[in-house]
């Protein structure tokens, strides 16, 4: 899982294989930001590069952290 900080929030690329691992990764990221007393960026988007389960299985965890209605998921055509 890769987390990219963009101007509109964070983008998660290939959110791992399970909800638990993706959730742990996002929790770690947000704890790090909080420890530095930095603003908590919103979750803007997820990108699933292809259809192997280790690249999309953790998508469910992102909905737990999503605080906006404009969250987007990008995936290849026919995904």
Flag whether the pTM goes above 0.85: yes
- On the question of pLDDT at 68 being above 80, the answer is no
Q: Which uninterrupted H or E stretch holds 33? A: helix 19-35
Reported confidence tier of residue 66, pLDDT bands at 50, 70, 90: confident
Query: Which of 63, 6, 5 lies closest to 29 in space, CA to CA?
Result: 5
Question: How far is residue 72's CA from residue 12's CA, in Å, rounded to a whole number?
Answer: 10
Q: What is the average per-residue pLDDT within 30-57?
A: 90
Q: What is the average per-residue pLDDT within 30-48?
A: 91
Reported confidence tier of residue 79, pLDDT bands at 50, 70, 90: confident
Q: What is the average per-residue pLDDT within 28-48?
A: 91
| Domain boundaries defined on the chain | 2-74
């Amino acid at each position: 899982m890769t987390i990219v900080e963009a101007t509109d929030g964070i983008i998660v690329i290939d959110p791992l294989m399970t909800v638990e691992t993706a959730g742990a990764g996002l929790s770690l990221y947000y704890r790090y930001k909080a420890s530095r007393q930095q603003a908590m960026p919103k979750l803007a988007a997820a990108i699933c590069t292809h259809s192997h389960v280790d690249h999309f299985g953790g998508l469910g965890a992102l909905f737990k952290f999503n605080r906006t209605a404009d969250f987007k998921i990008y995936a290849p055509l026919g995904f």
